[in-house]
Amino acid sequence: MCARSGWRCSPVRIYPSGYFNVYADAARQDDIDAALHIGDYIYEYESTGYACGNAEALGRVSEPRELLLRLEDYRRRYAQYRTDPDL
């Protein structure tokens, strides 16, 4: 999070590397008037790609596991991100 006024900005978050708890914390703040997310929302990497080091231990392995190529693949990945209650 970055700001000293009534707005916040949030950098990139990636599902396999952890949780989106920063968003839940921001939602509880009563001094935020606006929020800006800077970065990608989902990533097309295969499950053994970028930021996968702790994914298995965290139970956050990307689905589908292969590189996203089809619209259906992107929809599955998007749906997986939306399973995080803090997002």
Give the pLDDT confidence of 56-77 residue by residue, as tens digits. 999 999 999 999 999 999 999 9
The residues, any chain, with a CB within 8 Å of residue 52's CB and separated by 6 or more, are 16, 17, 45, 61, 62
Q: What pLDDT does 3 receive?
A: 47
pLDDT grade for 79, boundaries at 50, 70 and 90: very high
Is pLDDT at 9 greater than 90 in this prediction?
A: no
Give the pLDDT confidence of 21-57 residue by residue, as tens digits. 888 888 888 888 887 877 778 889 999 988 888 899 9
